[in-house]
Chain A
Amino acid sequence: MKTYIKSHKTLNLLLDSQSSPLVVVEMEKESHLFLTKINFAKKKEKNRIEVLLNGENSTCEIKVIDLVGEDHLLETEIFVFHNEPNCKSNQIHKGLYKDSAHGIVKSMIFIDQKAGKSNAMQLSQNILLSSFAKVSAKPILKIKSMDVECKHGVSIGFIEQHLFYYLKTRGMSDQEAKYLIIHGFISDILLTYFPSYEKALNLWINR
């Protein structure tokens, strides 16, 4: 199943686990995309978001939260193509992996030779909530123009124990401390775009 959208103006897309696994958005001149997705993975899944900045001065801001538990496998691909000059993109991916879940994250920035003055940023932050969970995150940069500004970053790690300890000294149980740290990790996206998912997050952590 594929969702294809072409836009010439500002477009806000809120996606969740029910959304199509392949979303392709083509942005025309001076159009702006705000795409946000929260994904509670089920079994084995592959999701791909593809944004084509096909018009000059078009921009996109992509924010994705992945929550993967049990023995599920989630592949997330976020591909942004800068095909015209003066375009701007920002990708933020946050992943949480528990039990024996497995995540694969591929984030790509492609900048065409003619797409000068491009500004592109990608960040993937991943927290492992179990020593059996694993994730591999692969940033891919294909830059054919010299006149670009491009940044990328990836982090994978466990909850920092000193944060956990501090919250426990404030009377929080293991579950409550974990919830506060996870909530903090994704709150910028969760509270702004998916406030109704707070309860689902709590259930997911405690499941």
Chain B
Amino acid sequence: MLNINQLTITLKDKLILDKLSLEIHPGEIHVIMGPNGSGKSTLAQVLAGNPIYNVSNGFVLFKGENLLNQKPELRSLNGLFLAFQSPVEISGLNNMYFLKSMLNAHRKFKNLSELDSIEFLTLIDLKIEQLKIEKSSLGRNFNNGFSGGEKKMNEMLQILLLEPDLIILDEIDSGLDIDALKLVMFNISSLLKKQKSFIIITHYTKVLEYIQPNFVHILSHGKIVKSGTREIAFQIEQVGYENIH
């Protein structure tokens, strides 16, 4: 699914990721933890195609294709999704209008007919029910005045609509209350059954109470310094990042 090889990233001459390698197969969950500034979000943004980062070395294959020379929209259309740590707000843009445009852009790419408003309403009703999202949020402007948790649920709603193959969740747990987090994790488990892959970036071990990752990686100074089972995460909780060897 995803093969990151010796990826080296700089931003304004500062080394952010240092020869990072990682391989993710269909249906796997990889949790990435690490102290602030270790490069976790940079990795997510580089995979999504943020143009501000400079790839100094290495390559990334997604479904066997070179990911790094693809524009962000092509990465998305090919099945990569980044749930942002801080999703943007777009004033005036109706949430429902955005969601329908997004889904139809993907359907057009797959040579499927675009959904009309009634077909889309039928689909979105099912998805908001899965996430227990208030229907009124669809009529609001995109993320405008949404709480942190509501924005994260709106990212999850997009995931349920698109069902991408590789889903990167950048601190999806921040801002979510415990009930919402359980719902998110329940839906992640459902997507896993469809062989979707996940990179979950988090600071906390809370998410590990609901899912069983295949690997937990510890990122420090742009490098993966340790990989293993979720026991590593619980170890960190007790001793901190500095004492992990």
A-B CB contacts (within 8 Å), total count: 69
A156-207 CB contacts (< 8 Å) to partner B: 162-163, 165-173, 176, 180-181, 183-188
Chain B residues within 8 Å of A, Cβ to Cβ: 48-51, 71-73, 75-77, 81-82, 84, 87-88, 90-94, 97-98, 101-102, 105-106, 109, 141-142, 158, 162
The answer to whether B51 and A184 touch across the interface, beta carbons within 8 angstroms, is no
CA distance A166 to B50 in the complex (A): 9
- Across the interface, which residues of B come within 8 angstroms of A187, CB to CB? 92-94
CA distance A82 to B98 in the complex (A): 41
**Set B50, B92, B93, B142: member contacting A165, Cβ < 8 A:** B50
CA distance A185 to B142 in the complex (A): 12
Candidate in A165, A170, A173, A186 with the most chain B CB atoms within 10 angstroms:
A170
The answer to whether B76 and A168 touch across the interface, beta carbons within 8 angstroms, is yes
- Across the interface, which residues of A come within 8 angstroms of B92, CB to CB? 183-188
The answer to whether A171 and B49 touch across the interface, beta carbons within 8 angstroms, is no
- Across the interface, which residues of A come within 8 angstroms of B87, CB to CB? 166
**Set A173, A176, A184: member contacting B142, Cβ < 8 A:** A184
- Across the interface, which residues of B come within 8 angstroms of A166, CB to CB? 84, 87-88, 90
The answer to whether A172 and B73 touch across the interface, beta carbons within 8 angstroms, is yes
- Across the interface, which residues of A come within 8 angstroms of B75, CB to CB? 169
- Across the interface, which residues of A come within 8 angstroms of B97, CB to CB? 180, 183
Main secondary structure of the interface of A (DSSP, over half): helix
- Across the interface, which residues of A come within 8 angstroms of B94, CB to CB? 184, 187
The answer to whether A181 and B90 touch across the interface, beta carbons within 8 angstroms, is yes
Can you spell out 20 A-B residue pairs with CB atoms less than 8 angstroms apart?
A167-B90, A168-B71, A168-B76, A169-B49, A169-B75, A169-B82, A170-B73, A171-B76, A171-B102, A171-B105, A173-B105, A176-B101, A180-B93, A180-B98, A183-B92, A183-B93, A184-B90, A187-B92, A187-B93, A187-B94
CA distance A181 to B88 in the complex (A): 12
Residue of A nearest to B84 (CB): A166
Residue of B nearest to A185 (CB): B92
Chain A residues within 8 Å of B, Cβ to Cβ: 162-163, 165-173, 176, 180-181, 183-188
Residue of A nearest to B102 (CB): A170
CA distance A176 to B73 in the complex (A): 11
Candidate in B84, B90, B91, B92 with the most chain A CB atoms within 10 angstroms:
B92
Give A187 Cβ to nearest chain B Cβ, in Å: 5
CA distance A90 to B76 in the complex (A): 42
Give A185 Cβ to nearest chain B Cβ, in Å: 6
- Across the interface, which residues of A come within 8 angstroms of B76, CB to CB? 168-171
Give B159 Cβ to nearest chain A Cβ, in Å: 11
**Set A162, A163, A176: member contacting B105, Cβ < 8 A:** A176
CA distance A162 to B88 in the complex (A): 8
- Across the interface, which residues of A come within 8 angstroms of B141, CB to CB? 184
Candidate in A163, A168, A176 with the most chain B CB atoms within 10 angstroms:
A168
The answer to whether B88 and A163 touch across the interface, beta carbons within 8 angstroms, is yes
- Across the interface, which residues of B come within 8 angstroms of A163, CB to CB? 88, 90
Residue of A nearest to B75 (CB): A169
CA distance A187 to B87 in the complex (A): 21
Give A23 Cβ to nearest chain B Cβ, in Å: 26
Give A162 Cβ to nearest chain B Cβ, in Å: 6
Residue of A nearest to B105 (CB): A171
Known: A163-B88, A184-B93, A187-B92. A171 touches B48 (CB 8 A): no
- Across the interface, which residues of A come within 8 angstroms of B84, CB to CB? 166
